Structure 1
Amino acid sequence: MSPQRLEFHPLTFVEEHDGITVGRPDAESYATLPEDGAALLRRLSEGMPVPDAADWYRAEFGESIDMEDFVAALHELRFIREDGESPAVRREVRFQRLGRAVFSPLAWSAYAALVVAALAVLVLLPALRPHADHVFFTSSLVAVQIVLTLSQVPAILLHESFHVLAGRRLGLPSRLSVGRRLYFLVVQTELDGLLSVPRRRRYLPFLAGMLADVLLFSLLTVTAALTGPNLVGRLGLAVAYLIVLRLAWQFYVFLRTDLYFVFTTALGCTNLHEATTAWLRGKFSRLPGVRESTSDDEDWSPRDRRVAPWFALISVAGVAFLLVTLAVAVVPVVAGFAVRTWTALTQGTSGGAGFWDSAVSVLLIVVQVVLLVVVSRRDRTSRKEAA
Structure 2
Amino acid sequence: MKITKISLYDLELPLHQPYLLSRGRTFTKFDSTFVKIETDEGITGWGEVCPWGSTYLPAFAGGVRAALAEIAPQLLGHDPREVEKMNRLMDRVLSGHVYAKAGIDYALWDISGKAAGQPIHALLGGAETKEVPMISSIHVDSPENMAADVERWRNLGYRRHSIKVGESVDGDIARIRHLTEFRQSDEIFDYDANGGWNPWEAIQVMNAVRDTDAWFEQPCLTYEECLTVRQQTSQALSLDECITGVREVVRAISDRSCDVVNVKLARVGGITRARWIRDICLEFGIPMMLMDMAGTVTNDSVVAHFASTLPENRCIGTWSCQDMVSVDSAPGQGARNVNGRLTVPEGPGLGHEPDEDILGTPFLVVK
Q: What TM-score do the two structures reach when normalised by structure 2? A: 0.22
Q: Which has the higher contact order (CA 8 A, sep 6+)?
A: 2
Higher strand proportion, which one?
A: 2
Q: What TM-score do the two structures reach when normalised by structure 1? A: 0.21
Larger C-alpha radius of gyration, 1 or 2?
Answer: 1
